[in-house]
């Protein structure tokens, strides 16, 4: 049962914005909503136990009241799971007519050959029959153990129950978010209301991700929807931009899996996206991405890496990704060892034009190492700052005006324990 949900106003970086046009030009008015995808009008959800896992919910069904434009960003791994391939085929012809999502956890349906693709198609076909929609209008997704055949009989029986349980609202969204979890400890939901003049829209999502997380997506799934109408191409553009700033800027362990997918849905229209949709989607994806890092397998600390003073955003992102993806940095954070050389070495490893004579490094807003590699904080002071549960590092490249941010967690002994016995 999900906890009671109430709307709340997010803390803004500037003063709260009213709905008048002048203030809208300064900062979009965003309102955080508890309950994730359940806040989006026209979306119904269910999460049930199908028996893929021993006890917990492991099958989610999400249905839309009308045809939806669908945008996607999926793994760049050359080994792609059957549901990723089957959904890609459907989107080639029906990317403006999608109506549902089926996702199971506990089994990735990856490296399962022709049978895996047949099972993914059978899942889409049955969901379509239960909902009275075309089979090509169903997105299928899976997450879990690789190389094991999907228990299609269990999923088939449970789909009927999931279709009967479909409901709108935050409680149903909570159930669906639980059903897509693997090693996650908590469900991940987020939603924001935004305004185009006096017109109110909502964008909401659920996600999963805890391990095998690295830049360029990871063992993560995200299902996002909005009631703001727009074209498929417009939705795709916004999703790619949001993913580049969020899902592609997190790291737990440096691994990339076979099933990573983010799908976004919107009522189809020839119009451009409403004003501030991009800002709301960016905020939503960033919140879901940070939730994955905070829930990283065995994590005890979170790390935010700001790269400033870059010549352009691409350089800033590349350096930030190089830092957050290094296990030497993650283990340093876990051990609270102020070994700043690992951070600088990881930045230089990006090989994207860092000037060795111009950089400076900050730890939790304190100058740590000044230009010229002059250490300012003592080892004791550095250790004391690393004792915090949330660590912020800023590397100023001293070259230009651009910046980017990445997020990571530490690597602990528990990460080894979890991954040493994932199947057994």
> Measured on CA atoms in the order 104, 249, 234, 174, is the torsion positive or negative?
positive
Tokens coding 357 = 């004579």
Q: What is the DSSP letter of 275?
A: T
Give the DSSP H/E element, type plus range, for residue 390.
Answer: strand 390-396
* Residue 20: burial class (beta carbons within 10 Å; 0-12, 13-18, 19+): exposed
Task: Output the CA angle 90-92-96, nearest 5 degrees.
Answer: 85
The 10 Å Cβ neighbour count of residue 421 is 8
Q: Which of 228, 220, 249 is nearest to 313 (CA)?
A: 249
Alpha carbons 126 and 143: distance in angstroms, whole number = 19
Query: Which residue carries 């050959």 as its tokens?
Result: 113
In angstroms, how far is CA 51 from the centroid of its own chain?
26
Alpha carbons 317 and 112: distance in angstroms, whole number = 35
For the beta sheet containing 366-370, the strands, ordered from the edge strand earlier in sequence to the opposite edge, are: 250-251, 402-409, 302-310, 390-396, 360-363, 366-370, 374-375
**Distances from the Cα of 132 to the Cα of 128, 138, 157, 163, angstroms:** 6, 11, 17, 11
Q: What is the dihedral of CA 395, 401, 402, 406, to 10 degrees?
A: 30
Alpha carbons 344 and 334: distance in angstroms, whole number = 18
User: Of residues 112, 123, 219, 405, which has the active-site annotation?
Assistant: 219
Helices (H) and strands (E) in the chain, counts: 12, 16
Q: What is the DSSP letter of 211?
A: S
Query: DSSP of 139-199, one letter per residue?
Result: EEEEEEETTS---HHHHHHHHHHHHHH-B-SHHHHHHHHHHT-SS-SS-EEEEEEEEETTE
Active site annotation includes 13: no
Catalytic residues: 219
């Amino acid at each position: 049962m999900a906890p009671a949900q109430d709307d709340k106003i997010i803390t803004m970086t500037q003063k709260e914005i009213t709905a008048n046009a002048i203030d809208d030009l300064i900062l979009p008015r965003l309102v955080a909503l508890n309950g994730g995808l359940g806040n989006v009008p026209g979306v119904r959800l269910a999460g049930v136990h199908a028996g893929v896992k021993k006890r917990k919910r492991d099958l989610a069904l999400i249905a839309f009241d009308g045809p939806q434009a669908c945008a996607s960003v999926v793994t760049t791994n050359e080994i792609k799971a059957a549901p990723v391939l089957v959904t890609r085929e459907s989107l080639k012809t029906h990317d403006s007519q999608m109506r549902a999502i089926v996702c199971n956890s506990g089994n990735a349906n990856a490296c399962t050959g022709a049978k895996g693709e047949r099972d993914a198609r059978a899942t889409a076909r049955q969901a379509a029959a239960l909902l009275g929609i075309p089979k090509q209008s169903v997105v299928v997704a899976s997450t879990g153990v690789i190389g094991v055949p999907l228990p299609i009989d269990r999923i088939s029986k449970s789909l009927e129950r999931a279709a009967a349980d479909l409901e709108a609202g935050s409680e149903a969204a909570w159930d669906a978010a639980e059903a897509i979890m693997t090693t996650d400890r908590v469900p991940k939901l987020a939603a924001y209301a935004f305004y185009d003049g006096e017109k109110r829209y909502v964008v909401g999502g659920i996600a999963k991700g805890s391990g095998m997380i690295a830049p360029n997506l990871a063992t993560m799934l995200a299902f996002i929807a909005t009631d703001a109408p727009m074209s498929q191409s417009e939705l795709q553009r916004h999703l790619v931009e949001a993913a580049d700033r969020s899902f592609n800027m997190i790291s737990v362990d440096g691994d990339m899996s076979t099933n990573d997918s983010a799908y976004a849905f919107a009522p189809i229209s020839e119009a451009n996206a409403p004003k501030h949709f991009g800002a709301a989607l960016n905020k939503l994806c960033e919140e879901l991405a940070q939730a994955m890092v905070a829930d990283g397998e065995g994590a005890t600390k979170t790390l935010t890496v700001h790269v400033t003073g870059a010549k352009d955003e691409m350089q800033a992102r590349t350096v930030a990704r190089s830092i957050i993806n290094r296990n030497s940095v993650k283990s340093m954070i876990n051990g609270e060892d102020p070994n700043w050389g690992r951070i600088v070495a990881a930045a230089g490893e990006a090989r994207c034009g860092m000037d060795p004579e111009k950089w400076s490094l900050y730890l939790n807003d304190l100058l740590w190492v000044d230009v010229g590699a002059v250490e300012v904080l003592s080892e004791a002071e550095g250790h004391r700052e690393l004792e915090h549960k949330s660590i912020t590092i800023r590397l100023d490249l001293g070259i230009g005006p651009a910046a980017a941010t990445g997020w990571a967690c530490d690597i602990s002994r528990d990460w080894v324990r979890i991954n040493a016995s994932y199947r057994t």
